Structure 1
């Protein structure tokens, strides 16, 4: 197969085929006597696998993986691909955890129950409850995500987290665990403070979950082709 033929079979342009060959995504093509590239069906399979893999994990990771699975021992090459499945599943679990937290916050906002006066936590109690460091809570306070009260003690002043502050800390912890950046969390916290409404954030998480599902399906589509590449690299 010449460059034009393999490009048509893989739905890439001829220049993209040459670029991916130069990057090591596909093996170097054989050369005919006149210097023209000669490709095989293995190159087509590699290009198709790369397309799905890039959709699943991004082009940078996909390029690295396509190079490494031809060089690593079979068990390590297979483990590399399995790691992508585990990574996607972890992203999904984090997004689901964040969504569950936001659902609980929305449920709280729709109830008539009022906070019990005096309910609060110290920074140590809250950090233990959320599984984050006290320094993380102080940083969240610094960037406006959580607003604890200051109370006077014999030793000076100390932070006390009311139910509102605890709720904001819970939302922040859930979204950060779900991979959201600080500016995105700030938007959510502002919405909760202003409107007591988190539906927009839940919709964003639903979109994220759908995107993860699409990436997981793309990885599954690449699976058989990647397995063939791993095997053929050991028998070549």
Structure 2
């Protein structure tokens, strides 16, 4: 039995759209409610009728959610209904650009890690220098004391404190962590990536640590590649959706 046709293609039931898109029936209804897909046509008896554009929208949403996160993807798909074609295309271009920036950042982080692994740890080997004040460490690293405080808030560099005066003093492990953070931040690495690397490099004392960091960065690059490929695969669906939604008046 042939499916009924509309001006834009076959008329699909909720279950048809769910099967074609890989979502459940309830998810299809929820995503329609969130504005991710255009509203379904309601018949006199209240049944929803969908078309191929709804399937394309759901597939495009899945790719955007994988590339930029579900919250961002939902807001993007909802905004498509009030934006013109140029703005919709620019949004997809921006998603690709974000992935490219993440890839470049990860590659720079790898270069920074390799550079650190071959550096002499002069800050940690000075005679009679078991700890540094925040002012001393900031001066040695070429950063502001406020920067060190910010890194402390972000959980990147944790100093020891002299409780009576709450004076920050940094011992060798904290100094080592600070050196890593400086190198990564100078390479353009974002705070989340720095935090991830520091978690794997609690003891940055040997080249094996650099190897572990390299493996972490390789896994990150693989994840970025997977997200990029998903976005590329959804290109036709997103293009169909962008062209199908009427221009706002």
Q: What TM-score, normalized by structure 2, do the two folds share?
A: 0.72
Aligned length: 218
Match of 2:227 in 1: 215
Instruction: After TM superposition, list the pairs within 5 Å mapping 1:1-80 onto structure 2.
Output: 1-80=12-91
Match of 1:126 in 2: 141
Q: 1:115 to 1:6 in 2, by over 3 A?
A: closer
In the alignment, is the contact (CA less than 8 A) between 2:83 and 2:247 conserved in 1? no
Q: Distance in 2 between matches of 1:87 and 1:144?
A: 24
Q: Distance in 2 between matches of 1:194 and 1:63?
A: 45
Deviation by residue 1:115-140 (Cα, 9 ceiling, x = unmatched): 5998xx97357336xxxx44113554
Q: Distance in 1 between matches of 2:239 and 2:204?
A: 47
Q: Could you say what secondary structure the match of 1:234 adopts?
A: coil
Q: Distance in 1 between matches of 2:112 and 2:202?
A: 16
More helix by share: 1
Shift of 1:38: 0.5
Q: Give the alignment's Cα RMSD to 1 decimal.
A: 3.7
Shift of 1:222: 2.0
Match of 1:173 in 2: 182
Q: Distance in 2 between matches of 1:231 and 1:220?
A: 17
Q: Distance in 2 between matches of 1:211 and 1:114?
A: 33
Q: What TM-score, normalized by structure 1, do the two folds share?
A: 0.75
Shift of 1:18: 0.8
- Give ranges in structure 2 of 5+ residues lacking alignment: 1-11, 127-135, 160-168
In the alignment, is the contact (CA less than 8 A) between 2:201 and 2:209 conserved in 1? no
